Amino acid sequence: MKRTLLITGGAGFIGSHVVRLFVNKYPEYTIVNGDSLTYAGNLENLKDVKDLPNYNFEKVDITDENAVNALFEKYAFDGVIHLAAESHVDRSILDPLAFIKTNVLGTAVLLNACRKYWQGNLENKRFYHVSTDEVFGSLGEEGFFTEETAYDPRSPYSASKASSDHFVKAYYHTYKLPVVLSNCSNNYGSHHFPEKLIPLAIHNIRNNKPVPVYGKGENVRDWLFVEDHARAIDIIFHNGRIGETYNIGGFNEWKNIDLIMLLCEVMDRKLGRPAGTSAQLITYVKDRAGHDLRYAIDATKLNKELGWAPSLQFEEGLEKTVDWYLANEEWLEHVTSGAYQQYYETQYQKR
Ligand code: NAD
Ligand code: DAU
């Protein structure tokens, strides 16, 4: 079947993996990557697919209603996969309004465009909202987030994502917009912007700089290889039930400090340094304000209903990730020049 899909945020970390998967797997689809190219958006992430005939790029800010409507008129989309967002918790603490604008208003603008242009003909239409496990708040040492867990967001980032999830569900109930949602745990893999823990640590170890670990390093995250997330998005977009939410996760919990110790071992090996060299760079710094203790996703529904499961063990995925960063130093050079330096200083010099 021919389809015309808008993938928002396609120049970012996860979005670029989703775009790559879709343009390669569905040559009969017209794929439009709609992205405003913030500091996190980078067309270099898609250099391997940019010349494929079914790939299109449109520079668009999702908070700009006229621009979004013009895009719907140009392409007559029948599906939207919405990933565009401000995505970094630490930045949301520095500038919450930017998160409210893009994540809440931007999502509402897209929903409204679907309502306007799909009115009266909802057949084969679908709005897929990509969200996060952080909307569920923080777990203690036991238990998992399921699709029934009550929302309890605690950072400006997670509050903005929770709000956007609620708007998506409201458009389903009120206007019967055919929506589907997913809430995923921490992703890792290639093209991950080095403000996030794993790529930041790889970059710093490579350059013999301190590796900042917040608080005591005891916070726990559930890590999923980004290509497994993209695969889940493909399955849910095509086969997920309308109005439903699916949790996506790796069943792969790591304490931050244990993860960093493992990464240090891998880096020592890959860089030919004596064992223990990289670990000497670990530096405990002031904790993140309101730092959620633990996230853990129960992805049973997605597995039972749609047959998805993670494809990689974490150790293997981490090796692949390190290999990619070491082979793509030019990419890292580009994204860490300019404004990144200023952000890094604000974030870390005072800790
Ligand atoms: P990212 O920060 O790497 O990329 C975000 C992309 O959105 C960038 O290309 C940026 O240019 C674009 N963008 C930002 N504001 C925009 C605007 N106003 N208009 C148009 N484009 C805009 O983010 P990511 O880590 O790839 O996350 C993608 C999505 O997945 C987000 O919605 C995030 O909440 C969600 N998510 C991320 C993770 C994770 O671990 N990274 C886990 C679960 C869910
Ligand atoms: O859970 C899904 C979420 O995962 C996504 O919704 C977010 O978009 C994504 O950024 C990620 O959020 P986290 O805050 O968990 O990711 P981050 O890589 O920023 O931090 C991971 C953990 O490491 C967290 O406990 C904070 C800690 N940390 C982070 C940084 C950047 C450090 O100890 N040192 C650091 O320098």
Give per-residue pLDDT as tens, 230-270: 999 999 999 999 999 999 999 999 999 999 999 999 999 99
Burial class (CB in 10 A: 0-12, 13-18, 19+), 39: middle
Residue among 14, 64, 130, 302 whose CB has most ligand 1 atoms within 8 A, to mutate: 14
- The atom of ligand 2 lying closest to the CA of 198 is 18
Ligand nearest to the CA of 109: 1
Distance (Å, whole) CA 71 – CA 160: 25
Query: Which pTM does this prediction carry?
Result: 0.98
Q: Tell me the CATH number for domain 4-188+224-248.
A: 3.40.50.720
- The number of beta carbons lying within 10 Å of the beta carbon of residue 253 is 20
Burial class (CB in 10 A: 0-12, 13-18, 19+), 272: exposed
In this structure, the dihedral spanned by the alpha carbons of residues 83, 148, 250 and 188, taken in order and rounded to 10 degrees, is 30
Catalytic residue among 55, 157, 246, 344: 157
pLDDT score at 205: 98
Domain boundaries, the chain: 4-188+224-248
Spacing, Cα 166 to ligand 2 middle (Å): 23
Tokens of residue 136, six digits: 């569920």
Give per-residue pLDDT as tens, 278-293: 999 999 999 999 999 9
Residue among 61, 87, 104, 136 whose CB has most ligand 1 atoms within 8 A, to mutate: 87
Per-residue pLDDT band for 106 (boundaries 50, 70, 90) equals very high
Catalytic residue among 78, 86, 133, 222: 133
User: Which amino acid is it at 84?
Assistant: A
> Does residue 350 register a pLDDT over 90?
no
Nearest 5°: the CA angle 261, 265, 267 is 110
Distance (Å, whole) CA 40 – CA 194: 10
Is 157 in the active site? yes
Using an 8 Å Cβ cutoff, are 79 and 126 in contact? yes
